[in-house]
Amino acid sequence: MSNEIPYKIYLNESEMPNAWYNVRADMKEKPDPLINASTHQPVTKEELREVFCDELVKQELDNENRFIPIPEEIRNFYRMYRPSPLVRAYFLEKKLGTPAKIYYKFEGNNTSGSHKLNSAIAQAYYAKKQGLKGVTTETGAGQWGTAMSMACSYFDLDCKVFMVKCSYEQKPFRREVMRTYGASVTPSPSMTTKVGQQILTEHPGTSGSLGCAISEAVETAVTTPGYRYVLGSVLNQVLLHQSIIGMETKAAMDQYGIKPDIIIGCAGGGSNLGGLMSPFLGEALRGEADYRFIAVEPASCPSLTRGAFAYDYCDTGKICPMAKMYTLGCDYIPSASHAGGLRYHGMNPILSKLYDDGILEARSVKQTEVFEAAEMFARVEGTLPAPESSHAIRAAIDEALKCKESGEEKTIVFGLTGTGYFDMFAYEKFHDGKMENYVPADEEIAQALAKLPQI
Amino acid sequence: MSNEIPYKIYLNESEMPNAWYNVRADMKEKPDPLINASTHQPVTKEELREVFCDELVKQELDNENRFIPIPEEIRNFYRMYRPSPLVRAYFLEKKLGTPAKIYYKFEGNNTSGSHKLNSAIAQAYYAKKQGLKGVTTETGAGQWGTAMSMACSYFDLDCKVFMVKCSYEQKPFRREVMRTYGASVTPSPSMTTKVGQQILTEHPGTSGSLGCAISEAVETAVTTPGYRYVLGSVLNQVLLHQSIIGMETKAAMDQYGIKPDIIIGCAGGGSNLGGLMSPFLGEALRGEADYRFIAVEPASCPSLTRGAFAYDYCDTGKICPMAKMYTLGCDYIPSASHAGGLRYHGMNPILSKLYDDGILEARSVKQTEVFEAAEMFARVEGTLPAPESSHAIRAAIDEALKCKESGEEKTIVFGLTGTGYFDMFAYEKFHDGKMENYVPADEEIAQALAKLPQI
């Protein structure tokens, strides 16, 4: 093993980025704007302010400023668990016998267990600064809810989490972590909101969905004085906050003169993917560098690879503004056999645009392939990965094996977004050979897309 | 907050210790030797070799060599998750309003979730080097079993874990992590061993104990060709391996000119406590420095504060050699209301001797006080701690609050041995107000001590 590059590259705290990276500044054609779900006109700042904090509305709509300074209070909090390590996967390379050099940026060394905390603390900070009492949000796999609970606890804000019911029941320990941080957790759909009541009336036995939990959280935010809604992915502001991942990765690589050939991220709503890639995408868009960008999504929820690029609702209740994005339709719910997150029906508008423009590649992987990669990674690299992150591991391994065949010494970097300590139920299924690979039939996808609003 | 000391001090990989620290070399009076449970004569190397690997027997009996080189293969593995950070608890200090400076050495950033991996990998390495097929061991809270599974997976060794039955049932996800690393996990007592059969006959409904699981693991090791037994605490060899914690801590503190006044560790069998303290104890024993050393144990299993210093059996089946240690008697089992680890009846012989000599202090804490400290720590420092580690947090907070009263700017360092992600059942009990504080009555302790063997 080489002695030149350490196993883990840690930036010094003084080398941590002072600004987030806004990749929209580098895009010649900007993403299409959010539009009002009733009027179909571009949403105004005023409309968005009813849902989101003022400063976050500004960030959501900012297509121009490349660098957005990170407030000192947020940088202080980041120091609690950042800089995160950029790890050279020496053990994995050896196991695969590949000439490729594999790196991963590991975001799981904090109690939320994932990168979600990077945006949660920013959103909590702006809520506090605006003098709010609290925030509402939804959580699926539970990482975002945990992150938001931690962030709210730090700024002494109330945090109301709507947790997708099947996840609430399958992951009681996730719920308990949120309680440790003082959050209230309600299984969704619930009777506490109109939209929840309506969904429960129409589908009495439903185990919930992300789109439905979002609707409940938004309704609660706009009807409760002193509250706003926060979201852990999909939004442009989230990509912005998550760019800290890419900024640190790039700084660490630059220090050691490492230039990646392939950058890989798992793809749900796009928060980690966009965050890791942002500064690299900026270079590519400015023509300063040439990278391959690969988004990896579950075969059971293939918004990029099989969805349509269209204006769609962001939530089941159709309360939120609409976004132009790759989508399977707001009613699409991945099969119950799908484990873990990455189950949102759409994809962040910036990434959707870049995919449509051919800058970003995408592929889908089946979940048993994902868990095979996860287990191999856990054994050789010592970190038991989250199912979500393992999509990126799968693609990184596949690319490294191609290098083994071709003899190319490519440099691959991927985002290891989090740990799987609260996902052992899914691992158990995998070990017991009970994990299914659901791939929606063409007809199912066609039916879902046929329901897309005509705009 | 001071800008001089970073939030987290990471050594460079090149600054990692190349040797473990054997504190016995600094002791003028050595700990009393292990004795054969039948003959009461000091055990010979040959006797120990039936149970432990040859190289580990040497380490177990070595009272002379201060530094034991760490083999390169082990150092390579350590780089997977080490050096671990020494964290300045700025957020906790602020919350407490104390002039004290608090540091913690955080050992939870690996999938085993604790410091146990430091010794597991060493024990697996020597087993592999000796050409063994596999090892047997026991696990209570599950951290040691997980660590040993990871270590065995790395060296391609078979790993048979006997898991205390109540823990096996309460922590299915711990079991699942072990399976991810290819270990077999058997609830103890089991029918696979003679000692297990005997215990089940005498106590049909028993939920098991550490002492019983140890007996089953030892029996399996000595009756299965190509196997040896490994243990995660209590032994001198384990303290030796865990000294990597103290060595790194001291190196990091020396770099920044930090001199601790108080060093605190949670106390079960003594592995973390002794590991963190070893090089500092060495300095104190040589008269080169003056530190306060505090062991913190659960009020429900108070081996140091209420036990006797005597020769006792290390396991329920009375198979293992006997050790001179602080003990509550090998049949002592903490109340079922006790959550988490730190439930062994005895204490490592080196630490027992140092406690008897007045070098080491000890105190016991009740578990609701422990969980109060744990929750406060999780909220301000962002890491949800293991119940075991939280005993040390409790004492560190108490010492910092004393400083607040006296105005003293003491420097406190404690071991944050691990994370509590698999202990949310206990946190739930705490949140629901259902956690009990069991403190054994004087009579119960007296009865337990009356059963100690007369040697």
Q: How many whole angstroms separate alpha carbon A178 and alpha carbon A145?
A: 7
Percent of chain B with pLDDT over 90: 90
> Among A197, A229, A261, where does a domain finish?
A229
Q: Which amino acid is at B274?
A: G
Predicted confidence (pLDDT) at residue A454 exceeds the cutoff of 50: yes
User: For testing the chain B interface, which of A73, A176, A390, A428 should be mutated: the one with the most B CBs within 10 Å?
Assistant: A176
Amino acid B404: pLDDT? 98
Q: Which residue of A has its CA nearest to B171?
A: A424
Which residues in A lie closer than 8 A to residue B1 (C-beta atoms)?
Answer: 76
Amino acid A1: pLDDT? 40
Asked if residue A43 belongs to a domain, the reply is yes
Are both A224 and A241 inside the same structural domain?
A: no
How far, in whole angstroms, is CA B71 from its chain's centroid? 22
CB pair distance less than 8 Å for B111 and A384: yes
- Mean per-residue pLDDT for A299-321? 94
B261 in contact with A, Cβ within 8 Å: no
CB pair distance less than 8 Å for A76 and B176: no
Task: Sort strands B227-229 and B134-139 into parallel, antiparallel or unpaired.
Answer: parallel
Are both A293 and A401 inside the same structural domain?
A: yes
> B257: phi > 0 → left, psi -120 to 50 → alpha, else beta; which?
left
Are both A282 and A401 inside the same structural domain?
A: yes
Task: Count the neighbouring beta carbons within 10 Å of the beta carbon of residue A169.
Answer: 13
Lowest-confidence region among A28-32, A112-116, A317-321: A317-321
Render pLDDT for B373-395 as a digit per residue (tens, 0 to 9): 999 999 999 999 999 999 999 99
Q: Which two tokens stand for residue A5?
A: 């590059």
CB pair distance less than 8 Å for B180 and A79: no
Of A170, A177, A160, A296, which Cα lies nearest the Cα of A228? A160
How far, in whole angstroms, is CA A285 from its chain's centroid? 22
pTM over the 0.90 mark: yes
Are both B149 and B265 inside the same structural domain?
A: no
CB pair distance less than 8 Å for A111 and B383: yes
- Mean per-residue pLDDT for A164-180? 92
CB pair distance less than 8 Å for B379 and A172: no
Of A311, A307, A348, A346, which Cα lies nearest the Cα of A449? A307
Amino acid A174: pLDDT? 93
Are both B196 and B106 inside the same structural domain?
A: no
Amino acid B319: pLDDT? 84
Residue pair B37/B320 in contact by the 8 Å Cβ criterion: yes
Q: Which residue of B has its CA nearest to A379?
A: B181
Q: At what angle do helices A117-129 and A54-61 cross, to 10 degrees?
A: 130
Number of domains in chain B: 2
Task: Count the neighbouring beta carbons within 10 Å of the beta carbon of residue B121.
Answer: 27
CA distance B303 to chain A (A): 30
Are both A222 and A244 inside the same structural domain?
A: no
Task: Count the neighbouring beta carbons within 10 Å of the beta carbon of residue A74.
Answer: 21
- Mean per-residue pLDDT for A261-285? 97
Are both A93 and A176 inside the same structural domain?
A: no
Are both B296 and B415 inside the same structural domain?
A: yes
Q: How many whole angstroms separate alpha carbon A65 and alpha carbon A67?
A: 6
- Mean per-residue pLDDT for B74-93? 97
Asked if residue B76 belongs to a domain, the reply is no
Q: How many whole angstroms separate alpha carbon A369 and alpha carbon B131?
A: 34
- Mean per-residue pLDDT for B8-22? 96
CA distance B150 to chain A (A): 7
Asked if residue B145 belongs to a domain, the reply is yes
B13 in contact with A, Cβ within 8 Å: yes
Predicted confidence (pLDDT) at residue B358 exceeds the cutoff of 90: yes
Quote the domain boundaries for residue A27.
Answer: 23-69+116-229
Asked if residue B1 belongs to a domain, the reply is no
Amino acid B170: pLDDT? 84
| Phi, psi for B267 (deg, rounded to 5) | -125, 110
Are both A142 and A214 inside the same structural domain?
A: yes
- Closest partner CB to A382 (pick from B110, B380, B384): B110
Asked if residue A74 belongs to a domain, the reply is no
- Mean per-residue pLDDT for B55-60? 97
Asked if residue A76 belongs to a domain, the reply is no
- Band (A2; pLDDT cuts 50, 70, 90): very low
Residue with tokens 């040859």: B54
Cis peptide before B189 (omega within 30 of 0): yes
- Mean per-residue pLDDT for B345-353? 97
Q: How many whole angstroms separate alpha carbon B104 and alpha carbon A451?
A: 56
Q: Which residue of A has its CA nearest to B1?
A: A76
> Among A229, A261, A278, where does a domain finish?
A229
Predicted confidence (pLDDT) at residue A170 exceeds the cutoff of 90: no
Asked if residue A390 belongs to a domain, the reply is yes
Of A154, A323, A145, A112, which Cα lies nearest the Cα of A232? A145
- Band (A302; pLDDT cuts 50, 70, 90): very high
Cis peptide before A189 (omega within 30 of 0): yes
Domain with residue A141: its CATH number is: 3.40.50.1100
Q: How many whole angstroms separate alpha carbon B181 and alpha carbon B198?
A: 31
Predicted confidence (pLDDT) at residue A141 exceeds the cutoff of 90: no
Render pLDDT for B179-214 as a digit per residue (tens, 0 to 9): 999 999 999 999 999 999 999 999 998 888 888 999
User: What average pLDDT does the structure give for chain B?
Assistant: 95
Q: Which residue of A has its CA nearest to B371?
A: A180
CB pair distance less than 8 Å for B180 and A111: no
Of B362, B373, B244, B390, which Cα lies nearest the Cα of B292? B362
Are both A248 and A147 inside the same structural domain?
A: no
Are both A210 and A250 inside the same structural domain?
A: no
Of B125, B159, B97, B99, which Cα lies nearest the Cα of B408? B99
Predicted confidence (pLDDT) at residue A324 exceeds the cutoff of 60: yes
Amino acid B1: pLDDT? 40
Predicted confidence (pLDDT) at residue A424 exceeds the cutoff of 70: yes
Percent of chain A with pLDDT over 70: 99
Secondary structure, 3-state, chain B: CCCCCCCEECCCHHHCCCEEECHHHHCCCCCCCCECCCCCCECCHHHHHCCCCHHHHHHHHCCCCCEEECCHHHHHHHHHHCCCCEEECHHHHHHHCCCCEEEEEECCCCCCCECCHHHHHHHHHHHHHCCCCEEEEEECCCHHHHHHHHHHHHCCCEEEEEEEHHHHHHCHHHHHHHHHCCCEEEEECCCCCHHHHHHHHHCCCCCCCHHHHHHHHHHHHHHCCCEEECCCCCCHHHHHHHHHHHHHHHHHHHHCCCCCCEEEEECCCCHHHHHHHHHHHHHHHCCCCCCEEEEEEECCCCHHHHCEEEEEECCCCCCCCEEEEEECCCCCCCCCCCCCCCCCCECCHHHHHHHHCCCEEEEEECHHHHHHHHHHHHHHHCCCECHHHHHHHHHHHHHHHHHHHHCCCCEEEEEECEECCCCHHHHHHHHCCCCCCCCCCHHHHHHHHHCCCCC
- Mean per-residue pLDDT for A184-191? 96
Secondary structure, 3-state, chain A: CCCCCCCEECCCHHHCCCEEECHHHHCCCCCCCCECCCCCCECCHHHHHCCCCHHHHHHHHCCCCCEEECCHHHHHHHHHHCCCCEEECHHHHHHHCCCCEEEEEECCCCCCCECCHHHHHHHHHHHHHCCCCEEEEEECCCHHHHHHHHHHHHHCCEEEEEEEHHHHHHCHHHHHHHHHCCCEEEEECCCCCHHHHHHHHHCCCCCCCHHHHHHHHHHHHHHCCCEEECCCCCCHHHHHHHHHHHHHHHHHHHHCCCCCCEEEEECCCCHHHHHHHHHHHHHHHCCCCCCEEEEEEECCCCHHHHCEEEEEECCCCCCCCEEEEEECCCCCCCCCCCCCCCCCCECCHHHHHHHHCCCEEEEEECHHHHHHHHHHHHHHHCCCECHHHHHHHHHHHHHHHHHHHHCCCCEEEEEECEECCCCHHHHHHHHCCCCCCCCCCHHHHHHHHHCCCCC
- Closest partner CB to A80 (pick from B13, B91, B419): B91
Are both B55 and B194 inside the same structural domain?
A: yes
CB pair distance less than 8 Å for A180 and B384: yes
Predicted confidence (pLDDT) at residue B317 exceeds the cutoff of 50: yes
A182 in contact with B, Cβ within 8 Å: yes
User: For testing the chain A interface, which of B73, B86, B111, B435 should be mutated: the one with the most A CBs within 10 Å?
Assistant: B111
What is the rounded end-to-end Cα distance, in angstroms, of chain A? 56
| Phi, psi for A398 (deg, rounded to 5) | -60, -40
- Band (B266; pLDDT cuts 50, 70, 90): very high
What length is written for chain B?
A: 455
Amino acid A27: pLDDT? 98
Which residues in B lie closer than 8 A to residue A424 (C-beta atoms)?
Answer: 172-173, 176-177
Amino acid A57: pLDDT? 97
User: What average pLDDT does the structure give for chain A?
Assistant: 95
Render pLDDT for A195-236 as a digit per residue (tens, 0 to 9): 999 999 999 988 888 889 999 999 999 999 999 999 999 999
Angle ∠(B256,B239,B251) on CA atoms, nearest 5: 10
> Among B229, B259, B283, where does a domain finish?
B229
Asked if residue A411 belongs to a domain, the reply is yes
